[in-house]
Chain A
Amino acid sequence: MAKCGKCDFKGSFDEYLNHKCSDGFKPTQPEHHGEIGKKISEAALKRGAERKEAEKK
């Protein structure tokens, strides 16, 4: 059984991915992780782009 650490949801893995959490978003939606998640994602994309650029050179 897949459990959500943010709300009290329990179910199958697919049900977990498709449940609406306490914040109204699904675990597959970037909004689920809020502003902190957005910043983490932006930093990850920046590092990825820098590496891609470095590999081109």
Chain B
Amino acid sequence: MAAATVEIDEANGAIKITGDATSTSANKLVYSTGGFTAAVDVGDEVYNVDDDTYAYITAKDSDTQLSLSADIFENGEEFEIQGEFTHNITNSNMGSTDAVNLDPVAYPVTPNENTFEKYQKIHVTAIGTSSKIDNLKIWRTGALGTGGTHTHLTNARTAAYARMPYVAPTDSDSSVATQAMPSSVPATANLGIDGSLSGSILSAGFDANKAFSDFLVHQIQTDADATAGSTSTMSYQYDETA
């Protein structure tokens, strides 16, 4: 039996490209201005701003046309394509810069300020002989710090969950990460797949069954009495059905 292979990915920086679709074509995004060849990649999440719907890029047909995992665009509808993706991150260090695998000593958080938001996904790179990945749970353990009130906030939640599109991470108070990060394993899933907490990944491809979770967004906020030096550990859990 070959188990599934799973990694954590992180997106950073500005949205790669945004504009209005210039034609209607099934399962395609057509944009006559172009720029897709250099800017985007297979696996990037595409957001339809007008309809609040999502798809993944399955192929780069040309500089002006993308193949998508879902038929979500009509002529004139606005699209946004996520920031630069780094696969298989080695840590989730948080600090005063928007960067993957950052050095928190080089980029410490000044008391009364926030870390930059993190936009991360669980990514199934191979499903092996398993049939399903689901029940995604995210939480943290360990002290956030002494001397002040530190809050680790997230979009992950077990109720009233909503999928959030990528926006460039900010160190202002997050408008997306608004709920306390659980400090123990949640009883039920708190991160969705395709917008649903009961969603599942059934393959590592970009067909109707996505290879990725939704974006997990999280941020640590501190107050003026905060002191440095504590460590909190993030946990990312999934269930795998053989």
Number of A-B pairs, beta carbon distance below 8 Å: 89
For the side of the interface on A, what is the size category?
20 to 34
Question: For the complex, is A51 an interface residue (Cβ under 8 Å from B)?
Answer: yes
Question: In whole Å, how far is A6's beta carbon from the nearest beta carbon of chain B?
Answer: 5
Closest residue of chain B to A13, judged by CB? B42
**How many Å lie between the Cα of A3 and that of B126 in the bound state?**
18
Question: For the complex, is A56 an interface residue (Cβ under 8 Å from B)?
Answer: no
**How many Å lie between the Cα of A3 and that of B10 in the bound state?**
10
Question: For the complex, is B7 an interface residue (Cβ under 8 Å from A)?
Answer: yes
Instruction: Please report the total number of B residues contacting A with Cβ < 8 Å.
Output: 34
- Is B42's CB under 8 angstroms from A14's CB? yes
A48-B241 in contact given A6-B88, A12-B42, A27-B5 (Cβ < 8 Å): yes
A residues near B84, Cβ cutoff 8 Å: 1, 3
B residues near A44, Cβ cutoff 8 Å: 3-4, 6, 133, 237-240
B residues near A51, Cβ cutoff 8 Å: 135, 239, 241
Question: In whole Å, how far is A23's beta carbon from the nearest beta carbon of chain B?
Answer: 11
Question: In whole Å, how far is A16's beta carbon from the nearest beta carbon of chain B?
Answer: 6
A residues near B3, Cβ cutoff 8 Å: 30, 41-42, 44-45
Give me 17 A-to-B residue pairs in the complex whose CB atoms sit less than 8 angstroms apart, sorted by A's number. Answer: A2-B87, A4-B87, A5-B100, A6-B88, A16-B87, A21-B88, A27-B7, A27-B87, A28-B126, A29-B126, A30-B126, A32-B5, A40-B6, A41-B240, A48-B239, A51-B239, A51-B241
